[in-house]
């Protein structure tokens, strides 16, 4: 590069750098834009709402004690499903939800990182020890869906799944205590 004046050389480097910076800037803007777009239009949010829970005691009392797990309908009609993900099962193994209504899923784990996924819905989150994972969703069709664990959690990972029973509004009848269980077949 002896025949090029140093200042011209510098300017060329600057030009290339700015071009790359511009390209990367567009990529970052597109990525952030996509995150905001999917969050607003498809309800896709980062997993967990940064709500802490002690993994060592969550099963002893409070909302993740065994008698509180499963589906509960509040007097106001809000549907909340509480599930514990543990090596290597979900408790309960089947959850009942209504079709066409907003459902809040709340999950916690006492052991390692698990994940949940329901194909065709926005339900897709990790369940991290120490945190409550929360997802809002709405199921469109009645019938049974599979909710597998999709985060490798140990030797029994592939055997870990739950069933989601999506019921029509007439089948989804809470008992006097506001609880709904899967229909036995
Ligand atoms: Cu739990 Cu994989």
pLDDT by residue (tens digit) across 145-155?
999 999 999 99
Q: Does 151 sit in the ligand 1 pocket, CB within 6 Å?
A: yes
User: What's the mean pLDDT in 63-68?
Assistant: 91
Report whether pLDDT(45) > 90: no
Q: Strand (E) positions, the chain?
A: 51-52, 70-73, 79-86, 89-91, 94-98, 102-108, 114-117, 124-127, 131-138, 143-148, 161-167, 179-180
| 6: helix, strand or coil | helix
Q: What is the pTM of this model?
A: 0.75
Name which residue sits closest to atom 1 of ligand 1, judged by CA: 114
Q: Does 152 sit in the ligand 1 pocket, CB within 6 Å?
A: yes
**157 Cα: distance to centroid of ligand 1 (angstroms):** 4
* Short-list 157, 149, 136, CA closest to 81: 136
Report whether pLDDT(1) > 60: no
C-alpha torsion sign, points 9, 11, 14, 15: negative
Q: In the chain, what percentage of residues exceed pLDDT 70?
A: 94
**90 Cα: distance to centroid of ligand 1 (angstroms):** 9
**pLDDT mean across residues, the chain:** 90
DSSP 182: P
Instruction: Answer yes or no: are the C-beta atoms of 55 and 129 closer than 8 Å.
Output: yes
Angle at 112 between CA 110 and CA 116, to 5 degrees: 95
- The closest-lying atom of ligand 1 relative to the alpha carbon of residue 157 is 2
Q: Does 156 sit in the ligand 1 pocket, CB within 6 Å?
A: no
**34 Cα: distance to centroid of ligand 1 (angstroms):** 29
Q: Which of 30-44, 119-133, 156-170 has the lowest mean pLDDT?
A: 30-44
Ranges 30-34, 37-41, 58-62, 170-174, most confident? 30-34
């Amino acid at each position: 590069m002896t025949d090029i004046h140093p200042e011209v050389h510098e300017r060329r480097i600057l030009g290339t750098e700015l071009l790359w910076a511009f390209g990367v800037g567009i990529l970052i803007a597109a990525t952030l834009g996509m995150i905001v777009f999917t969050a607003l239009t498809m309800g896709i949010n980062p997993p967990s709402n940064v709500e802490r829970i002690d993994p060592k005691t969550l099963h002893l009392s409070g909302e993740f004690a065994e008698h509180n797990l499963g589906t509960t309908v509040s007097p106001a009609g809000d549907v909340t499903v509480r599930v514990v993900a543990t090596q290597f099962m979900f408790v309960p193994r089947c959850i009942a939800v209504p079709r066409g209504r907003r459902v809040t899923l709340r999950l916690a784990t006492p052991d390692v990182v698990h994940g949940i996924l329901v194909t065709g819905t926005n339900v897709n989150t990790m369940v991290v020890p120490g945190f409550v994972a929360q997802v809002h969703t709405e199921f469109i069709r009645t019938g049974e869906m599979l909710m597998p664990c999709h985060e490798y959690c140990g030797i029994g990972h592939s055997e870990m799944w739950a069933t989601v029973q999506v019921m029509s509004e007439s089948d989804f009848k809470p008992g006097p205590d506001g609880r709904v269980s899967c229909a036995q077949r």
